[in-house]
Amino acid sequence: MTNVQTTPGNPLDLPVWVEPDPMPVAGCAHCDNVAMERDRARANGDASGRSDCNVRMRRHHTADH
Ligand SMILES: [Zn+2]
């Protein structure tokens, strides 16, 4: 009889990695708007909305700053 593993292997031990939120650039209305939406999402416990805002702000930073 062969030694066949019939149970799943050990779970992967992934590091907890939390990227810091991008900061709004002072004086930029678009940054302010996204930051306000992000604050609202955070206050409502909306992690998905907060993440969306972070993506939008990073794209905006890359494109416009
Ligand atoms: Zn900006």
Tens digit of pLDDT for each residue in 47-64? Answer: 999 999 999 999 999 999
Collect the ranges in the chain with pLDDT lower than 70: 1
Tokens 């416990």 belong to which residue? 45
Separation between Cα atoms, residue 53 and residue 33, nearest integer Å: 10
Report pLDDT for 58. 96
Tell me, in angstroms, the distance from the centre of ligand 1 to residue 64's CA. Answer: 7
Report pLDDT for 1. 61
Report pLDDT for 48. 94
- Amino acid, single-letter form, for residue 19: E
Q: Which residues, chain by chain, have CB under 5 Å from ion ligand 1?
A: 25, 28, 30-31
Report pLDDT for 31. 98
